Structure 1
Amino acid sequence: MLSRLSAISRYFTSSAAAQNSSNMSVKNFVEDTITSHKITVFSKSYCPYCRRAKTLFKDKYPDADIGVIELDERDDGSDIQEYLRQKTGQGTVPNIFISELPSFIPIRVYKLTSSTDQQHIGGCDDTMSLQNSGKLAGLITA
C-alpha cells in the first residue's frame, strides 16, 4: 500500500514539475521571441484579423524585422495563447508586440529583459488605429 502511494505521489509530483517546466518554457519562448524581433505577431493562420495585421506590416513596413508565430500550427499554441492572456489581459489573436530594440545593435549583444523594453500593441483594430493616426511608424522606427 505504501509503495503504491509513493508511486502515485511521484506521478503527481513529476506531472506538476513537468507542467511547471512547460509553463516556464512557454514563458521563455514568448519573451525570447518578443525581444528577438522588432515586431512580433502571435497569430492563427486562418484568422482574418491576423491576416489583415500581417498584411499591413508586410506592405507598409517591408524592411522591419517581423516575427510571426502561428499558434494553430504549434503543439503548444494554446499554452502560448494562455500565457499571452495572463501577460496582457488579451485572449484573442492577433496579439502584437513592438520591441524597443535599437535596430543598430545586434540581438546577441543587446538582450532585453524587462517588460518596459517591449510594448504590447494589442490586436488588429489597435494596430490599424495606430497606423491610421500615424503613430505606428514612429513606434516601428524608434
Structure 2
Amino acid sequence: MLPRVHRALSGSSSSFFILFSSTASSSKLSEFQRRRMSVKAFVDDAIADNKVAIFSKSYCPYCRSAKALFASNYPDIQTVIYELDERDDGDAIQDYLQEKTGQRTVPNIFVNKQHVGGNDKVTGLQSSGKLAALVNADQSKL
C-alpha cells in the first residue's frame, strides 16, 4: 500500500484523487451495516406483525413475571417472545431496542405496535385496567 501511496503522491493529481476516491466511498455495505439493517428489520417486523411482542431473557425474573402476566390474563392473545440470550444477534437487538425506545433493560414489551415498557409498567397498566384496553384495541384504529 505504501508504494502505491508514494506513487500516487509523486504522480499526477488525478492518480491521487482516484486512489482516495475509490477507497473513501464504497457502494457496498459493511458487514456491520448489513447486520444492523437485518436486526432493525427483524425488530420492526416483530412489533408490526404481532399483537404482543416481548423481548426477554430466559433467566430474568422480571421477564418471567411479565410473560406470566400475559399468559394468565390474555391466553387467547397472540404473544410472541424473543429470548435475546438464546439468539446470536441478541445483543444487537437489545442495542437497537435501546435506540428505538430509550429502554435498555428487558423485558421490553410492545402491545399493538406501541412500546409499553418493562415489567413494572405492564404490571401497573394491568392493575389500572389500561392493559386490557390496549391489548383488546383494534390495531387498524391505532
TM class, shorter-length: 0.7 to 0.9
Which residue of structure 2 lines up, in the alignment, with residue 33 of structure 1? 46
Which residue of structure 2 lines up, in the alignment, with residue 87 of structure 1? 100
User: Which 4+ runs in 1 deviate beyond 2 A?
Assistant: 1-6, 13-16
Distance 1:3 1:127 in 2: 62
- 131 and 21 in structure 1: CA distance in 2 versus 1, 3 angstrom threshold: same
Give the number of the structure whose alpha-carbon radius of gyration is greater: 2
List gaps (5 residues or longer) in structure 2: 6-18, 138-142
* Shift, 1:95, TM fit: 0.1
Deviation string, structure 1 residues 8-50 (Cα, Å, up to 9, x no partner): x97xx79961100100000000001111110000000000000
Distance 2:109 2:4 in 1: 48
SS across alignment from 1:121: strand
| TM-score normalised according to structure 2 size | 0.78
| TM-score normalised according to structure 1 size | 0.78
List gaps (5 residues or longer) in structure 1: 100-117
SS across alignment from 1:45: coil
SS across alignment from 1:46: coil
Task: Confirm or deny that 1:126 pairs with 2:121.
Answer: yes
Matches within 5 A, 1:38-57: 38-57=51-70
Deviation string, structure 1 residues 61-83 (Cα, Å, up to 9, x no partner): 00001010000000000000000
Deviation string, structure 1 residues 109-140 (Cα, Å, up to 9, x no partner): xxxxxxxxx21000000000000000000000
User: Which structure has the higher relative contact order (CA within 8 Å, separation 6+)?
Assistant: 1
Which amino acid in structure 2 is aligned with residue 129 of structure 1?
G
Distance 1:59 1:122 in 2: 19
Distance 2:98 2:45 in 1: 17
Which amino acid in structure 2 is aligned with residue 77 of structure 1?
G
